[in-house]
Structure 1
Amino acid sequence: MSLRIVVAEDSLLVREGIQRMLELQDDLEVVAAVGDLPELLAAVEEHSPDIVVTDVRMPPTNADEGIQAASGLRATHPGVGVVVLSQYAEPAYASSLLEGGSSGRAYLLKHRVSEPGQLAEAVRTVAAGGSVIDPAVVEVLVAASGRSASSPLASLTTREREVLDQIAQGKSNAAVAEALFLTERAVEKHINALFAKLGLVAEPDINRRVKAVLLYLSARDHSGA
């Protein structure tokens, strides 16, 4: 069966381009193409898609409607994956997108859409519960954190990597503790240690968690895992 997709983009030309590119794939079907947030939410209710592909900024405010949609759908339609497209490598948007967990979420720069197969593959990955974060966004975050020549994850212990893997799934400290048979206090200690090793010590907790996840996803994708 084809994956059913709702496309949301306020530019008619870009919207039609995205729709045409997706429909070139035998396993993808665009069931609606809309131009603003209210139309997007109405289309989700009407068509029950598997995936939403949305611009990050749309009417009515042209602020962060794509992120708002992704956040709202996590609560109202948790089975719907969301691929957010943006013109800029803006880490704040990616961080907001992943605040509730990375599963079934993707953040791509719009120029990736012109690369054959990039958008289609992101849609398939998100539909399977995976995550895709544009490498350019990760690079901006890593550079801001003082990236060394080697991977910042290399210094993590096996247990710290296991904890980070659980965080990447959007789990709370309590859920991580249950999954790894640890106490919550032990999980907190591991999280603080890995934050320090990744150079994320001077950030609010939610920002540190999101950035750590982005680093983890980038390294995982690079290794082909």
Structure 2
Amino acid sequence: MSEAAFGELPQATRATLVRAQVNYGRGAVPTVRKWAGVVGPEIRQQADGHRFVWWKSQLSEPHKVLPEIVNEDLGPSRHAEVRAWPKQFERVRELAGTFPDGSGSNCFGTVMAACGVEGAESVWMLREPFEEWLANHTEPGGRDDVPGTVFVWRDTASRVQHAALTIGDEWMLHKPSQSWMTPRKIRTVGEVKRATRTAGWRLERHRVVG
């Protein structure tokens, strides 16, 4: 649906659609409370007064909006603070702090690309190919303070939900989401663990081999 078509709907219908986005766990419907001071109080009238949709019109002043969007999930990438990059994972430095060309690129592809899978950072990597790569190129275990430990978070059904890669000195590479607005970030192991803590998720460690 276009922004114009959305705006022509009755407000009650717009509110219902936005609430449905939230209930289904979809993105791009942030809270009015957080963003009214950045994009303007008029967003309270867009839908139900509590959430709004990120239409192009909300990006008319990107110098105000984009820094907030980029930093809201886990904060900014800290790649400038890294003093020693892992030689066995040459692409980590190339990927750190970069943005994908569009939405779709995710944490699985980022980890695989950092470990040498060509082009993995640019595609929507599904669970199945990631699980296959994990089975063929890693073994259980690993340490948080050395390069090459893949963190894997699984839900109660054992489905992989997130992944990240240690690069040494307690730093990690990961992509917080598959959205265009989250870069491939360098954060500390502790920061990533805290931000990824979710009820029902369990953390596994796998050591990259070969």
Is TM (by shorter chain) over 0.5? no
1 or 2 for the larger relative contact order (CA 8 Å, sep ≥6)?
2
Say which one has the larger Rg: 2
Normalized per residue, the structure richer in helix is: 1
The alignment's TM-score, normalised by the length of structure 2, stands at: 0.30
The alignment's TM-score, normalised by the length of structure 1, stands at: 0.29
